[in-house]
């Protein structure tokens, strides 16, 4: 199942990746000018930073429960501030 990139970005106040929570620092919605290697999301926590490119998100598998699995096997969930307690 294909991932709708802009729907993912719309709920990306926080990024949960393999059990670690990161707060979004930068978001770029996809438009006609977006290239495959453009960074769409940058997120940070006390333990480090992560970023996702357009192609990484597009090639991810939609798990159907609000999470995606990247090609490298990482399980990622994008969360809005309303769901983080």
> The pTM is what?
0.80
Structure confidence by residue, pLDDT tens digits, 29-50: 888 888 999 998 999 999 899 9
First to last CA, the chain: 29
Q: SS3 for 29?
A: coil
Is residue 15 packed enough to be buried (19+ CB in 10 Å), middle (13-18) or exposed (0-12)?
buried
Q: Which segments in the chain show pLDDT lower than 50? A: 1
What is the predicted pLDDT for the residue at 33?
87
What is the predicted pLDDT for the residue at 67?
85
């Amino acid at each position: 199942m294909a991932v709708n990139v802009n729907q993912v970005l719309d709920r990306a106040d926080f990024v949960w990746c393999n059990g670690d929570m990161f707060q979004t620092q930068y978001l770029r919605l996809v438009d006609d000018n977006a290239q495959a290697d453009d960074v769409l999301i940058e997120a940070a926590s006390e333990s480090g930073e992560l970023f996702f490119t357009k192609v990484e998100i597009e090639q991810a598998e939609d798990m159907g429960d609000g999470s995606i699995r990247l090609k490298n096997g990482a399980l990622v969930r994008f969360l809005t501030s309303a769901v983080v307690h």
